[in-house]
Structure 1
Amino acid sequence: MTEVYPKQKAVPVKQSSEQSAAAPKGVMRYLPLAIILAVAAIGYATLGDYLTFDTLRENREALLAFRDANYVLTVLVFILIYVAIVAFSLPGATVATLTGGFLFATFPGALFNITAATLGAIAIFQAARWGLGEKLAARMEASDGVIHKIKQGINENEWSMLFLIRLVPAVPFFVANLVPAFVGVPLWRYAVTTFLGIIPGTVVYTSVGAGLGEVFARGETPNLGIIFEPHVLFPILGLAALAALPMILKALRGKKGL
């Protein structure tokens, strides 16, 4: 007798289609970060000779004339260019900050610089978090030993750590942009600490840019090492110490508890 088997539902086909539909999503999450890395590589190879102090000096009169004729447009274009420089980690961030001071004075130039730098930092933060940050943060949270302790320490002192990496001049700006994305820092906290944390250094360089007219007249170059001079560095380090104070107090309380 011939056995009759019930017809089976095409479940494997359905699962296969779902998997194939999910695959591009997994790949697409890396696309923003891949674009940033590609543009950054191209930018360093092609724009390094253009986004310089010499370029600003050679085009200063044209820039001032354009600003006087189109102030609002100049502000918008400047902010967009600055955002792109930070978001794609292109060379010329310091020159862009000086240009903000040169074109718009210390204020509102500092406000334009801080806003643009924060927006650019948020862009690269989001790209890094979508691509790698969520997975890395999850692995660090699930791991044991030293890695888990590092992640836990960052979680317990996020505000202090985020302010510290922004205030300490020795920490490269792109490093401070990427590290929080890899440890699962919330976006709003990252944005707030970035905006407030970069104020001291940005104001210093913007004020240097505001005085570039005299520097150009003397045929000199600006003192970009001014942020490491004692009268500038010590107040910034004081703010960094203030940001680290909660961590220090927490550590001291922990030792007393032992």
Structure 2
Amino acid sequence: MPALLRSPWLRLALLLVVLAAAAGSLLLWDPAQVLAAASGPYRMPVALAAYAFGTIAFLPRPALNAAMGLLFGAVWGVPLAVAGSALGAIGAFALGRALGRDALRPLLRAKVLSAIDRRLTEQGFRSVLLLRLFPGAPFQAGNFACAFSGVRFWPYLAATVLGVVPTTTAYVVAGASAGTPGSPAFLISTGVILAMCVFSAVSLWRVRVRSKTNAAPAEAAPVAVPTA
């Protein structure tokens, strides 16, 4: 490793530069246009590369999934979108583990972050699977949270591939059937998407209410006054 990159904080700065450059590059090119322009034997590899890069550049996966369905249909769109998600997850994990983990690990000593890190480390596959199955969890944030934690690579990848299937399928089918909005496929996939959004909103609301409920007794606890 070059001497300049031996500092964990310099590697973290490089990670931020790489992510900013990936996101900023979207001002110069449109992944949707690249997907639409790809043809011949290179169409699927180009689609996979554009999808994976799009996740690293913070493009929302629902839009990428719908584009895969629109261009490839449900039969090919679902496996391609799942594979693209896996490639994007691998890329983000590699970047986060190599460039950002050493600098951010000391921050995980905080009580809440330490508990999350311990759960990801000890129950990697189960924790990542639940994270991927939750519709409201940002994909890229989950990637880097896992990269900065102690979760092992193979459980992380296996849980990611398995966990993204439900939401990916719903959005790909919706994109594939968007031309026939009255079709059962479009109506069912749209209903599933709406149900997942409601589930995410209710889950987040319950977490917020629970956190307020747990904090209330601590705030209301009487302060002991020393007596003479």
Q: Same fold (TM over 0.5)?
A: yes
Q: Superposition pairs for residues 1-258 of structure 1, below 5 Å?
A: 22-26=3-7, 27-28=10-11, 30-41=13-24, 43=26, 46=27, 63=36, 70-89=39-58, 91=59, 93-137=61-105, 140=108, 143=109, 147-215=113-181, 226-230=191-195
* CA distance in structure 2 between the aligned counterparts of 1:162 and 1:154, rounded to whole angstroms: 7
**TM-score (structure 1 length as normaliser):** 0.61
How far is the alpha carbon of 1:224 from its aligned partner? 8.5
Which amino acid in 1 is paired with 2:54?
Answer: I
- Give the whole-Å Cα distance in 2 for the aligned partners of 1:144 and 1:24: 26
Q: Is the 8 A contact 1:205 1:224 kept in 2?
A: yes
Q: Could you report, residue by residue, the CA deviation over 1:203-236 in whole angstroms, capped at 9, with x for unpaired residues?
A: 1111111112324x9xxx9998644444x789x9
Deviations 1:75-97 (A, max 9, x none): 121111111101222x3532321
Q: CA deviation at 1:47?
A: 6.6
The CA deviation at 1:33 is 4.2
| Distance change in 2, residues 1:196/1:173 (3 Å) | same
Given that residues 101 and 207 in structure 1 are in contact (C-alpha distance below 8 angstroms), is that contact kept between their aligned partners in structure 2?
yes
Counterpart of 1:251 in structure 2 is none
Residue 117 of structure 2 aligns to a residue whose secondary structure is helix
Aligned residues: 194
CA distance change for structure 1 residues 93 and 153 in 2, over 3 Å: closer, same or farther?
A: closer
Q: Kindly tell me: are residues 92 and 175 of structure 1, through their superposed partners in 2, closer, same or farther at Cα, counting changes over 3 Å?
A: closer
**Any stretches of 5+ residues in structure 1 without a counterpart?**
1-20, 238-258
TM-score if structure 2 supplies the norm length? Answer: 0.68
How far the C-alpha of 1:172 sits from its partner, in A, is: 1.4
RMSD: 3.6
CA distance in 2, matches of 1:138, 1:38: 26
